[in-house]
Amino acid sequence: MTVRRVQGSEVEYGIAVTGQPHANPMVASTHVVNSYAAAHGLTRRARWDFEEESPLRDARGFDLSRDVADPSQLTDEDLGLANIILSNGARLYVDHAHPEYSSPEVTNPRDVVVWEKAGEAVMRLGAELAGRIPGAHPIVLYKNNIDNKGASYGSHENYLMNRSVPFESIIEQLTPFFVSRQIITGAGRVGQRQDGSVHAFQIAQRADYMEVPVGLETTLKRPIINTRDEPHADPKKYRRLHVILGDANCSEVAIYLKHGMTSLVLDMIEAGELADVPQLANPVQALHEISHDPTLKVVVELFDGRMVTALDLQRFYLDAARTHVQRHGSDEQTDDVLNRWEGLLDRLADDPHRCARELDWVAKLSLLESYRERDNLDWDHAKLHLVDVQYHDVRLEKGLYHQLVRSGRIDRLIADDEIKDAVATPPTDTRAYFRGMCLARFALDIAAASWDSVIFDLPGHDSLQRVPTMEPLRGTKDHVGQLFERCESATELFRAITAG
């Protein structure tokens, strides 16, 4: 048993133009992406390849008609918005009204943290550079999920799974885990309900925006389990579990455990050894009720009538994972995830404030309570909403999360130098290495790229040449590193790859 599997994250960032409350967010987002591209020599013709994308394919066995799909679901259409591929294998682009960073594929939760934090650095610099455009106003980005006006934007996770696992099993065995894991992965929010009309704190920012247990949509009627069947890999072997209900985390520990715990649960589901999962009577209602109670005392109803807490549900999955490890063995990172998971559940049960060094929602709640006590504020006070948003400000000198880091009040997992390196370099153990190195070495000869292909435009060829990358664990440094060392041109590389 292991936390190792191909995975990654996608984060849409909240955006504001200082002094311009009515500024067009799509234009501002475009400035962020294009400013970063221009400063790093990325204003080249290489485009994102949409050809292999299939956002309307449903894992339940059908394709949604384009005629009835919401326009936001048509992510396979090139709208002409800023969209670039980075040398670290990531994608930086404008997703409607937000700049978005999609990390390269990695093989373990720790690397998710590294390349997601690299994405924060990319966004931070892009916003700074956009603010230097003559006549432009400063642009501020927030790594959060709500605009406090009733709108929410996503922070998605992706996990590659074995195609042979029935999707019904994924729904049944994963739903209670997703409903309850927010007590570790939530980012915290001032205000309850989508419009924030209930003046109180809650654990997760995305919880109130989840409206159905299962579905294909991501921007309306949002589901706990998303059914998009777009593997970006060999569809006969793999499915990509696209997770949309999670919060955007600033805490490195929270990002790490979000991916680590989920990877362990998926490992058990694939093995067919996650039995007797407690089924919730109303998963959506339970998701909301758990989020609305930062004391973690609320009980939710199971299908058999029993009442349990989120801690109880998480204990079930932790105990199952411990048993699974005893049966199949483990590794260092898996043991670390299990130990951190267990330690947090113990401390959350005793007093959630004991987890302020590791969990975003607890760190934020502690800050908010200090302001409330000092200034005698009720939960509807504007200052608390400002603190809420400022926690997520990506600027190192302004963001309250970053201030907590500087003051030694937040635990770190990754050194700054490692994050800095990941801004420019891809992971070495997935196909992202091949994609990133192609863009770093032969940018002028790359016409397009995507998760599962790199398309060359080579002298002497009448047509573009597509190199499929359907196996996520091929194209690694071990696999193709020597080719990049000895090939002086894209033509040489292409010949070496396609020879005999």
Catalytic residue list: 95
Beta strands in 87-142 (DSSP E): 91-95, 98-102, 139-142
Phi then psi dihedrals of residue 100, to 5 deg: -130, 140
Nearest CA among 308, 360, 398, 355 for reference residue 201: 360
CA–CA distance, 115 with 450 (Å, rounded to integer): 17
CA–CA distance, 120 with 394 (Å, rounded to integer): 7
Nearest CA among 199, 198, 219 for reference residue 210: 219
Beta strands in 344-430 (DSSP E): none
Following DSSP, what letter does each residue of 210-257 receive, concatenated?
--EEEES-SSSS-EEEE-B---SS-TTTEEEEEE-SPPPP--HHHHHH
AA identity, residue 250: C
Contacts of 240 (CB under 8 A, 6+ apart): 158, 159, 160, 161, 230, 231, 232, 233
Residues 267, 271, 275, 281: is their CA dihedral positive or negative?
A: positive
Following DSSP, what letter does each residue of 290-357 receive, concatenated?
HHT-TTS---EEBTTS-EE-HHHHHHHHHHHHHHHHHHH---HHHHHHHHHHHHHHHHHHH-GGGGTT
- Cβ(477)–Cβ(104) under 8 Å? no
CA–CA distance, 320 with 327 (Å, rounded to integer): 11
CA–CA distance, 38 with 44 (Å, rounded to integer): 9
| Residue in this structure with the two tokens 């937040």, named with its chain if needed | 410
CA 496 to chain centre: 35
What are the angstrom distances between the C-alpha of 199 and each of 150, 188, 196, 257, 385?
14, 13, 7, 29, 10
**Token pair for 359:** 């969990």
CA 360 to chain centre: 15
CA 489 to chain centre: 35
Radius of gyration of the chain, Cα coordinates, nearest whole angstrom: 22
| Residue in this structure with the two tokens 């720790």, named with its chain if needed | 110
Strands 155-162 and 91-95: unpaired
Nearest CA among 451, 450, 390, 489 for reference residue 6: 451
**What residues pair up with 155 in beta bridges, in sequence order?**
11
**Token pair for 246:** 């999670």
3-class state of residue 139 by DSSP: strand
